[in-house]
Amino acid sequence: MKVKLATQVFSSSVADALEYCNTLLHLPQFRGCEEMVEFLRTIDAAFDVLNSRNPLEKGYKAPMRSTKIGLNKSC
């Protein structure tokens, strides 16, 4: 699998779509997808952290530092 395709599959847009199908459309195929939505958002945030290039960025776009523990909250 190409990395660009993986980042599209494990994106917050896909998480939003799953959440929309489950909560607003009430489609039975998407019942119980809450853990998958949380997983996708975590992976998307990890991609953002690992893809950072600018040392002055904020939030998930910021580079990894020894004080950055944002991803550890779900581990």
Distance CA 23, CA 12 (A): 16
15-62: pLDDT as tens digits: 999 999 999 999 999 999 999 999 999 998 888 777 777 777 777 677
First to last CA, the chain: 25
61-73: pLDDT as tens digits: 776 665 555 555 5
CB 31 within 8 A of CB 19: no
Assign 6 a pLDDT band (cuts: 50, 70, 90).
Answer: confident
pLDDT attached to residue 45: 85
pTM tops 0.85: no
Structural domain boundaries enclosing 18: 3-74
CB 65 within 8 A of CB 43: no
Report how far apart, in Å, the C-alpha atoms of 16 and of each of 33, 54, 67 are: 11, 27, 29
- How many domains, the chain? 1
